[in-house]
Structure 1
Amino acid sequence: MSIGALDATSAYGRILGTGKTGGSAGLGGTEESGETKGGFGSMVESMITDAAGSMRTAEAASAKQVAGKGDLIDVVTAIGAAEMALDTVVAVRDKVVGAYSDIMRMQI
């Protein structure tokens, strides 16, 4: 079974969504009257949403090209933007995991 980039991005989005519905704040944000303040959690959420949107755009452009109605340059541009967005999300995730590991190794 292969997991596509869009599947991974939507999984991150679902994880962020569950942090808000459980009554607790999302990643790093504080919850006040149903809204989260601008913080790390909202930044990550918007980044994942943007990445998912660019992947959907690339998928739609690819589908148009396959159907013979799209332009190849639009497809390449959309795929490049989606790849850059996904690489950014993965890099931020790796830095967060690395920082968490460093914190857990600290002696108290």
Structure 2
Amino acid sequence: MSIGALDATSAYGKVAGLGSALSKPTAKTEGSGFGAMVEDLVTGTADQMRTAEHASAQQVAGKGDLIDVVTAIGAAETALDTMVAVRDRVVSAYTDIMRMQI
């Protein structure tokens, strides 16, 4: 069974549409604390990933520009690397706190 490029782009479109509906928060957290910063980081990363997927789908369909695809993928990769680095630092801080003696 062969999957065509248009089938793949329509599948990504369906997933991206479903993902955007599920990822929108129902209540915005107020304040500028750490939780709000993490929420903004995750939301921004998800937006960058959706933008890159949309640009890729447009390119596959023959309607996009390759420069836009490369730029969008680079921005998404940078955002994801930043989010992973923050996660690693948080996990490291948590393990350091758990190792402290009371």
Quote the residue 2:46 is aligned against: 52
**Which of 76, 98, 101 does residue 104 from structure 1 map onto?**
98
Q: Read off the aligned partner of 1:78 and give its amino acid letter.
A: A
| Residue pair 2:45, 2:76 contacting (<8 A) in 1 also | yes
Residue segments in structure 1 that go unaligned for 5+ positions in a row: 1-9, 22-33
Judging by fraction of residues, say which structure has more helix.
2
Query: Structure 2: which amino acid aligns with 1:38?
Result: S
Structure 2: how far apart are the matches of 1:46 and 1:81? 16
User: 2:51·2:72 contact (CA, 8 Å) conserved in 1?
Assistant: yes
1:86 aligns with 2:91: no
1:73 paired to 2:67: yes
TM-superposition CA deviations, 1:50-79 (whole Å, max 9, x none): 000010000000000000110000000000
What is the TM-score when the length of structure 1 is the normalising length? 0.68
TM-score of the pair, normalised by structure 2: 0.72
Q: CA deviation at 1:36?
A: 2.7
Secondary structure at 2:62 match in 1: coil
- Two-structure CA RMSD over aligned residues (Å): 2.2
Report which of the two structures shows the higher radius of gyration computed on alpha carbons.
Answer: 2
Separation (CA, whole Å) in 2 of partners of 1:94 and 1:38? 21
How much does 1:43 deviate? 0.4
Offset of residue 96 of structure 1: 0.2
Q: Deviations over 1:79-106 (max 9, x none)?
A: 0000000000000000000000000000
Tell me which of the two structures has the higher relative contact order, counting C-alpha pairs closer than 8 angstroms and 6 or more residues apart.
2
Q: How many residues align?
A: 81
Identity across the alignment (%)? 68
Would you identify which runs of 4 or more consecutive aligned residues in structure 1 move more than 3 Å?
none
Which ranges in structure 2 are unaligned for 5 or more consecutive residues?
1-18
User: d(CA) in 2 for partners of 1:64 and 1:38?
Assistant: 36
